[in-house]
Amino acid sequence: MMIETRNTKDNLSTLIQDGKNLSMKFGFLGLGMGGTSIAATCADIKTSIKNNHHPYTALLINSNEIDLTKVQPINSNTKKMLIGDGKGAGRDIIMGEELYKAKADEISNAVKTQFQDADYVWLVAGLGGGTGTGAVIQAIGTLLNSGFSGKFGMILTLPRLKEGKTVLDNALQRLKKIGSVMENLGPILLVDNEKLFTEFSLEKPNSSVSEYLKFSNKYVAEALHELNTVTASYLPTSEYHFDSSEFEKILKTPGLLHFARFTEKASTIDASQQLSYAQKLKDLINRGVLSDGYDLNAAKRLAVSVLTDTLTANRLFTFEFTKTMEDLVNDISPTALEKPIATYQTNELKGTAGVSFYAVFAGLDLPKDRITEMVLEHKKLQELENQKKEKIDLFAGFESESSNKPSPNKSFDELFGNTENDSDKVISDKDALMNKLFDN
């Protein structure tokens, strides 16, 4: 798939970040190296380029001081907290959990203070390491006990298969536990590093790892923020509307959350190409960007929003366009409880920005194929480890002749000779050599 690297200077991105309304004020609780990195990027989003306003806030928690220092937020509202002695948890999830528990009261107070004005909190953790993976369950408890029951979701990253058995083991342990109770929690947005890394490396093979991380973090941040903005800032062009209250329903729906989005350039927009736009959106929905492999037929709720300028809206948003989009979502998720198709227009774009499509699906199950792949890779690595641990008898099949069998009654000297005499001989030989070398 094509990696979308939208420039925040393009017209549409500038528009939705320039003083528009928000459906919710988000807070981001980041845990561990991956979690703090994503949370900081999300909180760095600006809603007004002119006055440098940051609407969101973040609390970043890690046990590794170096990793925590590496995260340099732009948003002055973002706070950091170091737990433990600063040396990290060494991919030990039990240690990560214990370090969090030791500071549980302090963290709880920090959460209440940091997110006192937030409408909704995202718990962000990278699965596989020690601190984020170890602390994520305890952090869920913190949010439940801090007044955010029903008002928080999770952003969790899946590790790459090449990161090793310990990493996969850590991630699978937590996924299994969270998956068993996720019907009682908020939505979960999975960021699949295996998928993102592979596709990014194919599209941009000469890029650095840091560029990849910036891309994936920025995509998560922009996807959430743009949906949060589109649902609150524009008047619909028809009777259908995916507004703030419906967005809130999405964010209160248990299960996995799935996004897709793309922007069509103004020069390519043609009202006769509704089917091609629908097909492109459908392909992106099925392939996914942050993660894939979902049974979209089982989605509980979904919504599609389309935003463009007035000139384009007048010729694109026809009855046929709406019908094409309805057929699309009904084909993908026929049993979804709610599935609005909302079209919006604004006078501020003046026919130059093109058209942007946003799709969100809620209430999905864990991606079966991806989890199975992780389990099988873990099993394979475990079997290889077990083989290495098996003791190999290097002398298997060897039988000594009876004449050479040692007698249990022989003395040490009889077995190995008179070691004292041997030692004296070595010393004597050494003295003779030294005398020969240095004798005048």
Length of the chain measured in residues: 440
Please tell me the distance from the alpha carbon of residue 154 to that of residue 139, in angstroms, as a whole number.
Answer: 11
Overall average pLDDT of the 264-268 stretch: 73
Please tell me the distance from the alpha carbon of residue 97 to that of residue 131, in angstroms, as a whole number.
Answer: 7
pLDDT of residue 119: 96
What digits encode the pLDDT tens for the residues 374-430? 999 999 999 998 888 777 777 777 776 655 555 666 766 766 666 555 555 555 555
Torsion of the alpha carbons at 177, 182, 187 and 190, rounded to the nearest 10: 30
pLDDT at 236 over 60: yes
What digits encode the pLDDT tens for the residues 43-100? 999 876 555 689 999 999 999 999 999 999 999 999 999 999 999 999 999 999 999 9
| Token reading at 52 | 């440098």
Q: How are beta strands 341-346 and 301-309 bridged, if at all?
A: parallel
What digits encode the pLDDT tens for the residues 115-162? 999 999 999 999 999 999 999 999 999 999 999 999 999 999 999 999
pLDDT of residue 6: 34
| Token reading at 91 | 């991919």
pLDDT at 350 over 60: no
What digits encode the pLDDT tens for the residues 192-202? 999 988 888 88
Please tell me the distance from the alpha carbon of residue 416 to that of residue 413, in angstroms, as a whole number.
Answer: 5
Overall average pLDDT of the 316-345 stretch: 90
What domains are there in the chain, each with its CATH number?
A: 10-233 (3.40.50.1440), 241-366 (3.30.1330.190)
Amino acid sitting at position 334: P
Contacts of 298 by beta carbon, 8 Å cutoff, 6+ apart: 333, 335, 363, 364, 365
Radius of gyration of the chain (CA): 31
More confident residue, 53 or 112: 112
pLDDT above 90: percentage of residues in the chain: 55
